[in-house]
């Protein structure tokens, strides 16, 4: 028996044959060509086909992993449409008289290197995206079918690494789990694996070609890989896998049940979503509502500023579909790790501390008012709450509310219906925590964004893989900041929720209940497991 170690992406067990995947390596000719026009035409056809493929992958990812995960393929499509990148390929074909394959390799590698040399961790990771789309164009030029990588029988896939496009193409009915030598827990591929509920181990350095066809086990609970396990271990982990499946089926029986502890303490459990395409997952997992609708995906999935009508249609669909359940829509949180070219935000040395979220809204009021009008119009069709991100001071909240009121008055004068709505803010910085008493007096709710709150409290860039060993999401300072926020909110009679990743951390569910947290908003697949934890707690007895 061989044993490999790595980092687990998802707690779970997978057992089956190991299937090794090697990305195709192409021999690209460096010889000069004569027919420049024909070679350019080959490139034009290939780039268009690659763009079409990204659109197909986007739709497939929507179906299997949700809008948050699918957004990367929208970005890939935009990268492929970039005129500067395309012109660089054309220039190599015509200026150096090289093949389309050679020109794609050179131009895309140069662009990838530009990203790789950037200081910002998020932009640095974009180099992997450029290499992914380069592979897509080369696959087309060489006539390779990327869907043939998996084989025809269920297996655990083993690879050096997997690009997001490769992960989404996989036939889930044949995929038992994934093992890679490289990768990070924050990569797009890791996020997709979690979204598809696949046991996966990354950074497993023991991977070897000799594993092909052998029986393998992924033990996600202990971050282990076993090749040719002995009978005792196989029996133990098979039993664990069967136990997990029984638990999954039992969770279905919790649909329609209250989120209430044995001693009668209640909490709301809502869903985080990226857009209307995730509404089915909200309903399927019996969420009490939506605690975080990330409206920035409306912007990320658009090639230009989305119109008021386009936004209204998206917001109305969400609130109308789920009515009378509450839908909390966060206003545009573009910036930092989420950028769109048409907004022309410029380069920043430290974008996480830069021009982002509410700062853009208050600086570009026409842009902001377009979104606010769309939100207010949607409020007539359901139970809407509007949430402002990255608020750090009272004047920002007052200014945002003033703009909202201006929009409401405009719509009323135009004879447009506006419904009832709540106004709240995200608590994401130590500044917001420390002035929470002031802020609570002029809004209806707080939602704690633990991802950024952790980042800013600990002074750790959450996009920087090098800092993972230092990132303690349970740090006493973070938990104290959450407690302070809850207490401040309750002092002024408003409800307080959590919409960051910690909301789904079931080791903290009891802690949050004891703090008095009113609502947890999590990825839809975590709703029933958290409900189970809540219903098994007895806060009165201390267990």
188 is catalytic: yes
Which residue in 188, 332, 407, 443 is the catalytic one?
Answer: 188
Residues β-bridged to residue 88: none
- Give which of 376, 382, 367, 365 is closest to 410, Cα–Cα: 376
Handedness of CA 6, 128, 334, 49 (dihedral sign): negative
Order of strands across the sheet with 13-21? 2-5, 224-227, 215-219, 13-21, 155-159, 175-180, 200-202, 7-8
CA 18 vs. chain centroid, Å, equals 28
Residues β-bridged to residue 17: 215
499 is catalytic: yes
DSSP state of 343: G
Half-sphere exposure of 20 (CA within 13 A, CB side): 13
Measured between alpha carbons, how far is 234 from 27 in angstroms, rounded to an integer? 42
The structure tokens listed for 386 are 């509007």
Cis peptide before 324 (omega within 30 of 0): yes
- Give which of 26, 75, 169 is closest to 178, Cα–Cα: 169
CB atoms < 10 A from the CB of 55, how many? 13
Which residue in 332, 407, 443, 499 is the catalytic one?
Answer: 499
Cβ proximity of 108 and 137 under 8 Å: yes
Give catalytic residues, as residue numbers: 188, 499
């Amino acid at each position: 028996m061989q044993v490999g170690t790595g980092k687990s992406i998802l707690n779970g067990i997978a057992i089956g044959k190991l299937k090794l995947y090697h990305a195709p390596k192409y021999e690209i000719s460096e010889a000069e060509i004569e027919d420049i026009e024909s070679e350019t035409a080959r490139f034009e056809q290939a780039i268009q086909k690659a763009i079409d493929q990204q659109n197909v992958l986007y739709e497939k990812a929507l179906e299997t992993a949700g809008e948050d995960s699918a957004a990367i393929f929208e970005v890939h499509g935009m990268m492929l449409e970039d005129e500067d990148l395309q012109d660089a390929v054309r220039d190599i074909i015509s200026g150096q008289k090289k093949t389309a394959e050679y020109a794609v390799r050179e131009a895309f590698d140069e662009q990838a290197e530009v990203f790789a040399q950037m200081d910002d961790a998020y932009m640095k990771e974009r180099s992997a995206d450029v290499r992914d789309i380069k592979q897509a164009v080369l696959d087309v030029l060489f006539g390779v079918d990327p869907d043939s990588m998996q084989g025809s029988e269920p297996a655990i896939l083993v690879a050096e690494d997997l690009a997001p496009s490769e992960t989404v193409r996989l036939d889930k009915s044949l995929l038992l789990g994934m093992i890679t030598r490289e990768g990070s827990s924050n990569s797009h591929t890791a996020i997709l694996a979690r979204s598809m509920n696949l046991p996966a181990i990354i950074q497993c350095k023991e991977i070897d070609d000799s594993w092909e066809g052998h029986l393998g086990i992924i033990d996600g609970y202990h971050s282990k890989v076993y090749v040719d396990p002995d009978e005792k271990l196989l029996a133990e982990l098979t039993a664990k896998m069967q136990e997990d499946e029984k638990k999954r089926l039992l969770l279905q029986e919790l649909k329609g049940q209250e989120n209430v502890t044995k001693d009668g303490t209640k909490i709301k459990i809502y869903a985080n979503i990226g857009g209307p395409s995730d509404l089915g997952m909200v309903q399927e997992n019996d969420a009490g509502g939506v605690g975080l609708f990330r409206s920035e995906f409306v912007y990320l999935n658009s090639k230009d500023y989305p119109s008021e009508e386009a936004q209204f249609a998206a917001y109305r669909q969400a609130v109308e579909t789920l009515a009378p359940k509450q839908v909390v829509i966060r206003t545009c949180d573009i910036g930092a790790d989420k950028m769109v070219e048409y907004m022309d935000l410029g380069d920043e040395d430290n974008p996480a501390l830069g021009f982002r979220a509410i700062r853009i809204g208050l600086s570009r009021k026409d842009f902001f008012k377009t979104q606010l009008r769309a939100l207010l119009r949607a409020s007539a069709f359901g139970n809407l709450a509007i949430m402002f991100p990255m608020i750090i001071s009272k004047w920002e909240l007052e200014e945002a509310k003033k703009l909202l009121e201006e929009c409401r008055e405009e719509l009323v004068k135009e004879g447009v219906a506006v419904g009832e709505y709540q106004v709240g803010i995200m608590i994401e910085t130590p500044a917001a925590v420390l002035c929470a008493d002031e802020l609570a007096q002029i809004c209806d709710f707080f939602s704690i964004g633990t991802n950024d709150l952790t980042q800013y409290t600990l002074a750790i860039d959450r996009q920087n893989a090098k800092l993972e060993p230092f990132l303690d999401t349970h740090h006493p300072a973070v938990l104290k900041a959450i407690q302070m926020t809850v207490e401040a909110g309750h002092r002024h009679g408003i409800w307080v929720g959590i919409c960051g990743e910690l909301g789904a951390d079931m080791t903290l569910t009891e802690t949050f209940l004891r703090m008095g947290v009113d609502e947890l908003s999590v990825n839809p697949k975590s709703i029933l497991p958290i409900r189970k934890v809540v219903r098994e707690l007895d806060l009165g007895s201390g267990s």
